[in-house]
């Protein structure tokens, strides 16, 4: 098993990506602590992990609440002694699809402020334990919007660029403490969109283009990716397990391109 005896905290553990990663981490031997705002979603993922023979604990935590994040991380360390892996996979409602000239400053700045705050708080809380033990892996989550140009995603594109920059610089901050930082950058994951708030974001973009989400994604996958498809949840989760494992111990400060070729680095 890749993650035997590891302790992982998944922020946004009840979401599509966070849940998929949590299930894979547990399958690979990790004890998983699921943190998020919606208890019912966390409980569902925890039940699935337990049914498969894995170990999972849940806690309602708002990743924007500094005290709640710190208290939860301290509770995990108190319970099991360490945090080896932390992933921030939270989702925050935000506006996409609105042209720049119609975009309010509040809609532009909201995702930037919220996502960068949450990534800072969760990384810092987990890194405190990791620094004491001299090892650990922090995983962040971005999208190709960090590198693309276009219309309707200015706020979130800047957000993703900020998360990637944060990840690179943080790798320099924490490398001497034995902590690795990897940013995962998948493109749209159709199966995740079906069950997440992000579908509403894509619906707004599709409506402005006079099409449906499914048609828009199918067209973009066929013409805009080298593999003629988008990544699956299992592909993203499997890669997250690999880079969080000791097999990837030489990797840090990296932005992992999981776009199926919509971007080529």
CATH 3.30.1360.40 fits 7-190+232-258, yes or no: no
CA distance 89 to 113: 16
Domain boundary assignment for the chain: 7-190+232-258
Does the pLDDT at position 194 exceed 70?
no
The token duo for 98 is: 């609105």
Work out the pLDDT band at 47, boundaries 50, 70, 90: very high
Which residue has tokens 């409506």? 207
Closest Cα partner for 152 from 209, 220, 215?
209
What per-residue confidence (pLDDT) applies to 219? 87
Mean pLDDT, rounded, for 97-121: 96
Q: Considering the entire predicted model, what is its pTM?
A: 0.94
- DSSP assignment letter at 95: -
pLDDT band for 202, please (50, 70, 90 cuts): low
As a whole number of angstroms, the distance between CA 15 and CA 240 comes to 15
Interval 139-165: pLDDT, tens: 999 999 999 998 889 999 999 999 999
Separation in Å, CA 33 to CA 7, 10, 65, 238, 249: 8, 6, 18, 18, 22
More confident call, 231 vs 192? 231
């Amino acid at each position: 098993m890749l993650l035997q005896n590891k302790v992982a905290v998944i922020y946004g553990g009840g979401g599509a990506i966070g849940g998929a990663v949590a299930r894979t981490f547990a399958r690979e031997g990790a004890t998983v602590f699921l943190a998020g705002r919606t208890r019912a979603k966390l409980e569902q993922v925890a039940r699935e992990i337990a049914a498969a023979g894995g170990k999972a604990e849940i806690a309602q935590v708002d990743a924007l609440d500094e005290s709640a994040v710190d208290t939860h991380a301290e509770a995990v360390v108190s319970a099991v002694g360490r945090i080896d892996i932390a992933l921030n996979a939270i989702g925050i409602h935000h506006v996409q699809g609105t042209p720049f000239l119609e975009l309010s400053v509040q809609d532009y700045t909201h995702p930037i402020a919220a996502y960068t705050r949450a990534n800072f708080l969760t990384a810092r809380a987990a890194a405190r334990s990791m620094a004491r033990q001299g090892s650990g892996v922090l995983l962040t989550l971005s999208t190709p919007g960090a590198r693309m140009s276009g219309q309707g995603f200015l706020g979130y594109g800047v957000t993703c660029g900020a998360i990637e920059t944060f990840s690179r610089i943080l790798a320099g901050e924490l490398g001497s403490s034995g902590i690795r930082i990897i940013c995962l950058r998948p493109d749209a994951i159709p199966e995740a969109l079906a069950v997440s708030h992000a579908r509403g974001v894509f619906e707004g973009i599709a409506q402005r283009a006079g099409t449906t989400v499914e048609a828009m994604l199918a067209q973009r996958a066929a013409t805009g990716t080298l593999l003629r498809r988008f990544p699956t949840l299992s592909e993203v989760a499997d890669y997250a397990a690999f880079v969080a494992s000791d097999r990837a111990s030489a990797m840090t400060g990296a932005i992992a391109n999981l776009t199926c070729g919509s971007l080529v680095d």
